[in-house]
Every structure is written in C-alpha cells, then in structure tokens.
Amino acid sequence: MTAPATQELNSTETAEKAFVHAEGIHKRFPVHGGILNRVVANVHAVTDVSFSIARGETLGVVGESGCGKSTLGKMVIRLLEPTEGKVYLEGSEITGLDHKQMMSVRRRMQIIFQDPYSSLNPRLTVRGLLKEAIAFHNVVTPDKMESYIDELIATVGMRPESKDKFPHEFSGGQRQRLGIARALALKPEFIVADEPVSALDVSIQAQVLNLMKDLKEQLGLTMMFISHDLKVVEHFCDNVMVMYLGRVMEKIQSDRLREQAEHPYTRALLGSNPIDDPDERRPLTVLQGDVPSPLNPPPGCPFAGRCPEVQDRCRTEMPPLEMRVNGQAVACWARM
C-alpha cells in the first residue's frame, strides 16, 4: 500500500508536494424561479472541501447518495467548474485555465463513469470510440493506431474481435472494461473512478476491481475512487474521505478505518455493512431520520439531526476538521 500523504498543515506547501490538491472547494447550483426566472435559491452540493492525493495514491471518497461525491470528482478534472476554491495538479493551479490551456491537462486527467452504457456512444464501434479520443489528442501516429487499439483492448482483458462490435453487444462488465480502456487511451496520470462497479453484478464487481488495481500498479496511476461501499474502498484505497451533505466528516487511512474511525457517521456506515462471517452476530446500524435538504442546509453539523451523540453545540456550530497527529482528521464536537 502506498504511503499516505503528509498532513495538510500548510495549504501552499501541500499543493506543491501533492500530485492532486483541492483547496476550499464549493459548488452551488442556482435554482431559478418566478416570472423573471431569477435565482431564488442555491443547492449546496459541495461545501468547503480540501484534500491532497500523493502520486501513486488512491483516495476513496464515500458517503450516501447525494452527498456530493460525483460533483466533487467532476470538479477536480474540470468537467464542472467550482463556485469557489482551487484545484492544483503537480503544484500548478488548473481552475483558472481557459479551454485552450486545459487541452494539455485533459490528457493527464480522465474519468471512468458509473454507467458504462450511457457513457459510450452507441453509434460507434469500440474501434471508433477509442480512435476518436486517440486521434483528437494525437496520442500515437496514424500508422500505429490499430496496434495501439489492440493493445488497449488486450490490457483490459477483452478479445481482439471486440473492436468491431458496438456497445450494446457487450455485457455490463465488458462495457465497464471498455470504459476503462477509453480512460487509459490518453495515457493519463490521474483517474477519477466514479462508482465504477456499483451498476454491475456482485460477481463481476470483483473482476473489474482487480483489473483496476492491477492497472493502477502497472501504470503507476493516481486515483480518486468514488463509492458508497466502505468495504470496496477499504480494499482498494490508501486513504478514505467520508462526506455527508457536501461536507467532509472524516479523513483516515483505509487500513485504520475499521478499528479507528471516530466520527459517528463513519461508524454508522461501517455498522450498516453486511456481515462477512455468518457465525458472527452483531446488530446492523440503522440511522434514524432523513438527510437534510441541500437547498436549505441546517446550521451547525449537517449530521446533527441523525447523530446518536449529538450535543447542543452541534446544532448551531459546524465543527472544524481537526487534524490528528497520525494524519487522521475528524469534524465532530464530541471528538474534540
């Protein structure tokens, strides 16, 4: 497992040392209404998120649906623009770059989408899908195009004849392998994997995860792995960042997650996982209440309404993300 990144004490120093660094990221989506179609409210999708990923490391981002994981991932690679905050790649800020300046960065940062079918053009064969991206970015010369496509298909464990088929002719697991091949086609250094196995059967998930883990090690990739499954993240990632209603609740090394997680929300997520050993008996954790609306987030900690350890202060003040000596960080008044 890759050594964890250093503590995020000095934002400038951290941005320079980390391969990918995000600082104070916010994303608000305006809601229009009324006769004049003015902005009447904002959806607070991501609020004040900062993190660093060292080269070769995988950061797992977990949380319930709607917590802002996918929005965050898309902002990191500039598929969405942050409302506030900065993103750095190898110490250079990329949030201020225009379209032309971003072209050289695009090759270095790619994404694997959650739904492999909707993310593949149904009118193009596999050859066409891969050739389109490779030719646009001039990854290889035209005379090496076919051999490079064959190499990509073999890399993800597909047969050579696959390149002449259309996306609808493949199973879900095969389509996700094609999504991985397309992401690898530009020889990226950083990949955002947005719940890449959640749409697949359990029997296929392990195959795709093992493929991604092998490719990460072989190619020296740096990754952000987005998931709602803590078991998958624990197996696949070096560090874990837990989000709730757009905010970071906890950061922790994955090998410490099960035993040393402190935040009540992280503990609740761990307690809601199915039990591996059928002979083991423990009650599953079921959180009461609903997630607050991102249109009108509550003051204080967003988890206060569902937290079993809530204090009066939690309902009025948002706890800071306090860094521990071991690099773990927790945003919880009960843990201060």
* pLDDT tens per residue, range 98-156: 988 998 899 999 999 988 778 889 999 999 999 999 999 999 999 999 999 999 999 99
pLDDT at residue 15 in the model? 59
Mapping DSSP onto H, E and C, the string for the chain reads: CCCCCCCCCCHHHHHHHCCEEEEEEEEEEEEEECCCCEEEEEEEEEEEEEEEECCCCEEEEECCCCCCHHHHHHHHCCCCCCCEEEEEECCEECCCCCHHHHHHHHCCEEEECCCCCCCCCCCCCHHHHHHHHHHHCCCCCHHHHHHHHHHHHHHCCCCHHHHHCCHHHCCHHHHHHHHHHHHHCCCCCEEEEECCCCCCCHHHHHHHHHHHHHHHHHHCCEEEEEECCHHHHHHHCCEEEEEECCEEEEEEEHHHHHHHCCCHHHHHHHHCCCCCCCCCCCCCCCCCCCCCCCCCCCCCCCCCCCCCCCCHHHHCCCCCCEECCCCCEECCHHHC
Domain extents for the chain? 56-65+98-335
pLDDT at residue 252 in the model? 96
**Number of neighbouring beta carbons within 10 Å of residue 105:** 15
pLDDT at residue 285 in the model? 66
pTM: 0.90
pLDDT at residue 129 in the model? 93
CATH superfamily to which 56-65+98-335 belongs: P-loop containing nucleotide triphosphate hydrolases (3.40.50.300)
At residue 43 the predicted structure's pLDDT band, cuts being 50, 70 and 90, is: very high
pLDDT at residue 9 in the model? 40
pLDDT at residue 6 in the model? 36
At residue 278 the predicted structure's pLDDT band, cuts being 50, 70 and 90, is: low
